[in-house]
Structure 1
Amino acid sequence: MSRNDPAASPCSNLVDAIREIAPTTVLARVYPVSRSVTHLFESDFYRMLIDRQTEERVARLIRQGFGRAADWRRAHDFYLPAGALYLTPEPHRIGYVPEDDYSFGLAPARLIAISGGKD
């Protein structure tokens, strides 16, 4: 018999699902669907070289996990360790290139939503 665990965190499920697909991902940058691009970053702040199908699966999971909490016409960063979704910095801002400031550009002012607590 299957039971739903009310204590199970939606964030943990999302983070676990992403880690099954791309185990070393720390940050996923999801661009608008019109750009058809997703970037995955490891803890060293550099982009992972990964196939397009994997990027699309991760983007789909994030969009589904946060639904209407975000304006998906803009780019967003999902930081897996905190389960937090941030608005991506504009290209001319520090943090757009994650290794610029070694913080992934995760400023509290850009926080959109936190899904269910910490991983």
Structure 2
Amino acid sequence: MLQNSPSGFRRANISVAIREIAPTAALVRVYPERRSVTHLFESDFYLMLIDRRTEEEVARIVRRRFDKVADWRRAHDFYLPTETLYLTPEPHQNGYIPEDDHSFGLSLHRRIAIVGGER
């Protein structure tokens, strides 16, 4: 069983867990807890309209997986296709609004960790 396995978060499990909750999600933007918001984007770069409970569950999954490598006082983006965590661009940078540059702000210099191996 997954919960009894010491390697409970194998490579595909975090994306699978998120897609069980939000099947069309491509990117999860987890903001600091004080903002109490999480955004999910589809592969066409548009924001998904989801309920608050779904937002909270997806944020919990991402935070739990990257608890030791991310500074959750800042916003982070988790890109599901590559299972990579990035530091979210600042509001004045390309990628903060994903549809502006069609990159989701995914840049190597913002990469924090990849599931199955840290940076």
TM-score (normalizing by structure 2): 0.90
Cα drift, residue 4 of structure 1: 4.7
Contact 2:26 2:41 in 1 (8 A): yes
Q: Which has the higher contact order (CA 8 A, sep 6+)?
A: 1
The AA in structure 2 aligned to 1:114 is I
| Structure 1 unpaired stretches of 5+ | none
Moved over 2 A (4+): 1-6, 8-11
Q: Deviations over 1:6-43 (max 9, x none)?
A: 6x862311111000000000000000000001000000
Identical-pair percentage: 66
State how many pairs are aligned: 116
TM-score of the pair, normalised by structure 1 = 0.90
Q: Does 1:90 align with 2:111?
A: no
Counterpart in the other structure of 1:14: 14
Tell me the distance in 1 between the aligned counterparts of 2:11 and 2:91: 28
Q: Deviations along 1:24-78, whole A, 9 cap, x unmatched?
A: 0000000000000100000000000010110110000000011110000000000
Identify the structure with the greater strand proportion.
2
The unaligned stretches of length 5 or more in structure 2 are: none
Q: Is the 8 A contact 1:21 1:58 kept in 2?
A: yes
**Whole-Å Cα distance in 2 between the matches of residues 114 and 70 of structure 1?**
12
Q: 2: CA distance between counterparts of 1:20 and 1:49?
A: 16
Alpha-carbon RMSD? 2.0
1: distance between equivalents of 2:102 and 2:47?
A: 13
CA contact (8 A) 1:12 1:116 kept: no
Q: Give the Cα separation in 2 of the matches to 1:56 and 1:98.
A: 21
